[in-house]
A and B are shown apart, each in its own frame.
Chain A
């Protein structure tokens, strides 16, 4: 049997996690832009599922269940940012339209999406440097 303390902590964690997951679902439907939707999807949903898994870990009577739930939380927190980064990068590369309220796009005109090379900022590109190609001096040579 689980104690009253475990019961209360687990219930609170369950309610917080469900609230965050509902927020993630509403954000997916209501936000105007792929990048804003992605922020709701990655942060709110991973934190919500992490809270629910932690609730399972707290209320478990066996150590094996706790270890499994904590491993699930670690896995979720490791993979969700990577997935969000990959899909956001792909969305930027294929030119998904942005919300009209977005004011800053610092990568605009500076990234060659065909060759995956980064053009330098304006001041750095005009500085004479040996070996600088037509794209400028800041170059991602590994790609």
Chain B
């Protein structure tokens, strides 16, 4: 049951949730707006990886989710340093 729910309910809603911040990424008035939008997209990507691991019974996707989260964290920190020291 949980795999059917994840396939037919969770993944479409998560695809909407990962498409919404693209608006802010394109339109955002300042650099930190875009960085926050990218951060949210990375977090939703972790959730999509986890749901995919649940659907296909492939635990290797969980490792990919961890790596994506690490890259998103380091990217956000780097962008924060860049935006602050640029003045």
> Helix, strand, loop or mixed for chain A's interface?
helix
Within B9-27, which residues are at the interface with A (CB < 8 Å)? 9-10, 13-14, 16-21, 23-24
> Helix, strand, loop or mixed for chain B's interface?
helix
Residues of B within 8 A of A97 (CB): 29
Decide: B20 and A26 in contact? CB cutoff 8 A.
Answer: yes
Assign chain A's interface to a size class.
35 or more
Task: State which of A71-79, A99-107, A119-127, A128-136 sits at the interface with chain B.
Answer: A71-79
CA distance A55 to B21 in the complex (A): 24
Q: B interface vs A, CB < 8 Å?
A: 1-2, 5-6, 9-10, 13-14, 16-21, 23-24, 29-33, 35-37, 39-40, 43-44, 46-47, 50-51, 53-54, 59, 62-63, 65-66, 69-70, 72-73, 76-77, 79-81, 83-84, 86-87
